[in-house]
């Protein structure tokens, strides 16, 4: 089965033996999903929304402290939300409705509220997912998805993608070295004439490698399901520990609605 150890997901994992690391992967998946749903369910146009978002952030920082995940790791995980940031920044300028002046710039009040809400919700959800990736090995995540009855075909697709993403990345790196050794420098539009066929060649090589790997697996008795270890029984205490994050988020949301 050769390949790497999970590519980007493996790089995201922070080894450790904290209580968060020791939780069963499927309980953490459910907890993160439930937390994200609570965050998304927070009303936008209410006065206490900002306080609720601050409370959610404190909860995530507490989990990060318990898991010993450093702030730098959390900040690197926020890179994926750049498109949400751009969209949120544009909303106050393009939205209609009552306007207000901020530093001499006329902005939409509804756009400010909506943009701030999108930015807060995206940031909190990405931070929760970053904590999940930092405390759960890629293969453990796959086992968790399997325990949650995700269709086996999807689990297998994700498994092979994780296993061979770095193999394809290595092939891409070797092709880049070969091009540069022949004097190629992709600094102008004319480089597309070279990069286009290179992308097609990478696809063909990856497809052929996949076929060879699949045939080798079939010859070794592969039936559509990879062998796994014994399934551990998860007790109520483990579920209660994992769900403490979304339950605390619900408590923050309820307190905000009552006090607001």
Contact between 140 and 25 under an 8 Å Cβ cutoff? The reply is yes
Residue 119 shares a structural domain with residue 55:
yes
Residue 89 shares a structural domain with residue 29:
yes
**Model confidence, pTM:** 0.78
Separation CA 226–CA 54 (nearest Å): 43
Residue 114 shares a structural domain with residue 171:
no
pLDDT at 125: 93
Residue 14 lies in a domain: no
Residue 243 shares a structural domain with residue 131:
yes
Q: What is the DSSP letter of 78?
A: G
Mean pLDDT of 188-213: 80
- Helix 244-259 / helix 49-67 crossing angle, nearest 10 deg: 160
Residue 24 shares a structural domain with residue 136:
yes
Mean pLDDT of 169-195: 76
Residue 30 lies in a domain: yes
Q: How many domains does the chain have?
A: 2
Which has more pLDDT, 101 or 27?
A: 27
In the block, tokens 């999970």 appear at 6
pLDDT at 25: 92
Mean pLDDT of 84-89: 83
Mean pLDDT of 85-111: 81
Residue 86 lies in a domain: yes
Residue 39 lies in a domain: yes
Mean pLDDT of 70-87: 86
Between the CA atoms of 5, 230, 34 and 125, what dihedral angle is there, to the nearest 10 degrees? -10
What percentage of the chain has pLDDT greater than the value 90? 27
pLDDT at 2: 42
Residue 108 shares a structural domain with residue 27:
yes
Residue 10 lies in a domain: no
Contact between 131 and 63 under an 8 Å Cβ cutoff? The reply is yes
Closest listed residue to residue 27, CA positions, set 258, 232, 249, 201: 232
Examine the pLDDT at 59 and tell me if it is beyond 90.
Answer: yes
Residue 138 shares a structural domain with residue 248:
yes
If one counts every other C-beta atom within 10 angstroms of the C-beta of residue 205, the result is 15
Separation CA 207–CA 258 (nearest Å): 57
What H or E segment, with its residue span, contains residue 100? strand 99-102
Residue 32 shares a structural domain with residue 95:
yes
Contacts of 125 (CB under 8 A, 6+ apart): 36, 39, 40
pLDDT at 251: 93
Q: Which residues of 119-155 are buried (b: 16+ CB within 10 A; e: fewer)?
A: bbbbbbbbbbbbbbbbbbbbbbbbbbbbbeeeeeeeb
Residue 231 lies in a domain: no
Q: Is 96 helix (H, G, I), strand (E, B) or coil?
A: coil
Structure tokens belonging to residue 141:
């995540």
Closest listed residue to residue 87, CA positions, set 111, 110, 56, 57: 111
Residue 25 shares a structural domain with residue 88:
yes
Structural domain including 155 reads 151-220
Mean pLDDT of 86-99: 82
Separation CA 29–CA 243 (nearest Å): 10
Residue 158 shares a structural domain with residue 90:
no
Encode pLDDT of 138-175 as tens digits: 888 888 898 888 888 888 888 888 777 777 877 888 88
pLDDT at 229: 64
If one counts every other C-beta atom within 10 angstroms of the C-beta of residue 221, the result is 7
Residue 172 shares a structural domain with residue 195:
yes
Examine the pLDDT at 7 and tell me if it is beyond 70.
Answer: no
Separation CA 19–CA 81 (nearest Å): 28
Residue 139 shares a structural domain with residue 246:
yes
Residue 196 lies in a domain: yes
Residue 89 lies in a domain: yes
Which has more pLDDT, 246 or 1?
A: 246
Examine the pLDDT at 3 and tell me if it is beyond 70.
Answer: no
């Amino acid at each position: 089965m050769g390949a790497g150890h999970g590519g980007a997901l493996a790089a995201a994992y922070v080894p450790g033996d904290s209580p968060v690391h020791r939780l069963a992967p499927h309980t953490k998946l459910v907890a993160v999903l439930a937390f994200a749903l609570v965050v998304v369910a927070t009303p936008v146009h209410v006065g206490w929304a900002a306080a609720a978002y601050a409370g959610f952030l404190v909860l995530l920082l507490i989990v990060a402290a318990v898991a010993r995940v450093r702030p730098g790791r959390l900040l690197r995980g926020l890179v994926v939300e750049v498109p949400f940031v751009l969209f949120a920044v544009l909303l106050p300028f393009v939205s209609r409705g009552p306007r207000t002046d901020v530093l001499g710039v006329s902005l939409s009040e509804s756009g400010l509220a909506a943009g701030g809400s999108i930015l807060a919700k995206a940031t909190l959800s990405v931070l929760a997912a970053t904590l999940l990736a930092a405390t759960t090995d890629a293969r453990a995540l796959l086992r968790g998805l399997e325990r949650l009855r995700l269709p086996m075909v999807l689990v297998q697709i994700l498994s092979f993608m994780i296993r061979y993403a770095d193999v394809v990345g290595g092939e891409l790196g070797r092709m880049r070295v070969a091009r540069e050794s022949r004097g190629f420098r992709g600094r102008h539009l004319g480089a597309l004439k070279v990069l286009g066929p290179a992308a097609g060649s990478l696809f063909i090589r990856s497809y052929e490698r996949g076929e060879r790997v699949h045939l080798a697996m079939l010859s070794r008795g592969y039936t559509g399901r990879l062998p796994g270890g014994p399934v551990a029984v998860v007790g109520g205490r483990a579920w209660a520990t994992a769900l403490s994050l979304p339950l605390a988020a619900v408590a923050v949301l309820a307190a905000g609605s009552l006090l607001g």
